[in-house]
Structure 1
Amino acid sequence: MQYLIFSLQSELYRAVRLVVDTGIHYKGWTREEAIKYYNENTRISGVNEVDRMIVWPGQACAYKIGEIELLRHKAMAELGDSFDIKELHDVILMDGNMPLKILEKQVDEYILYKK
């Protein structure tokens, strides 16, 4: 149970970082707006996180992109010649936004189905 709580908290922090990174660099949020959002949606101070995002645009997004890239490599390794990038994209996009743990389960089910 404790692992599940930690896992969900980590997902929340990563999601908040994505929102704040996008807010700063696309929507033009001020530092104060970003810190306020971070503090309202997590249990830790957003000052250091926001300052890091200001000087390192896109870094928060890179984590999520990397996680999805790892799922692609996993599918490629497991399926070999029967790997189809279009099918994998359909699996990834089929149910819309979801936690990566659930997406990983869907990719695992896709791999089992294709074998």
Structure 2
Amino acid sequence: GSANFFLTGLMCGATGGILSLANAFPEICCELYDSFIGGQIDKAINLHFKVFKLNSMVSGSGGVSAVKAASTLAGYFGGEPRKPLKPITEGQLKEMRNYLKKEGLIK
């Protein structure tokens, strides 16, 4: 599912979510969840905006292929997307890498 709607879902009564973004960045997704469940709503909202931007950069730039690339950049095994999907372009990968470095999510 989309991380963009995770906090909204929790606020509407969802008990969790299955986020594609968590394949690459589980820590921030879990931190958002834990903050909400722990009653730290302001922190959860701030994390939501971070997650929203991150998800837009990752998933918005190429869907499944971009999540796989982000997973690899984050130190996990993303691998190649299955056909008929194609890997993201070198330009997209460079833009993603620069964004993730700027945000302190990768070295």
TM-score (norm 2): 0.26
Flag the structure with larger Rg. Answer: 1
| Structure showing the higher helix proportion among its residues | 1
TM-score (norm 1): 0.25
